[in-house]
Amino acid sequence: MKIEEYKYGVRAEHIRAGSRVGIVLFLFALFLLLIGCWSLAYTSSYDFSAFVGSLMYFALFSLLLPFCCVFAYYLYSDIEVDERGLHIKFFRKNLHVDWVDILEVKPIKPKVWISFVGTLIEERYLVITNSRLTIFHRIYGIVFGRTTSPSFLVTSLISKSPELMEKLVAKSNQ
């Protein structure tokens, strides 16, 4: 079985490194919160309102930052192609998408891309599937294609992108 690999380059590695830094900052903030709670536990008089306000900000931070870091980390997922379908790398696993599960390959309008990511890429497509991918892939579909179907991005940053796009368009159920 011949497997072809399509990988993103340096820009995707920079995004992944930034996501790792975000997770480290989150863990450091969690450590500081635990130290703060521990120090307040042994103090007889302290102001609860400042502590509760800080705790609310941290709760918001702790819910959004890891989610956003994972969202950005897997925005540019490497893809492997074989005769059965696609394999998308996600959390050190290969998620399989059969060729028959690809519903549509849809170009993304530049206005949405500029407002969300802040960069222009010549070719960008959303591959909408009918397979069982993750909740993050559903969110990619909502953010980039206004669909609740699991989706993933393919851009011109991926190696051999014209060849991959040709295969995706040819195999989709349009």
Are 161 and 127 contacting, i.e. CB atoms less than 8 angstroms apart?
Answer: no
Q: Which candidate, 80, 97, 74, places its Cα nearest to that of 15?
A: 74
Task: List pLDDT tens digits, range 33-83.
Answer: 787 777 766 665 556 666 677 777 777 777 788 888 888 888 888 899 999
Strand partners, 86: 81, 97
The pTM (predicted TM-score) of the whole model is 0.77
Mean pLDDT of all residues in 160-169: 88
Q: Rounded to an integer, what distance in angstroms lies between the CA atom of residue 171 and that of residue 174? A: 9
Dist. CA 164–CA 4, nearest whole Å: 10
As a whole number of angstroms, the longest Cα–Cα distance in the chain is 70
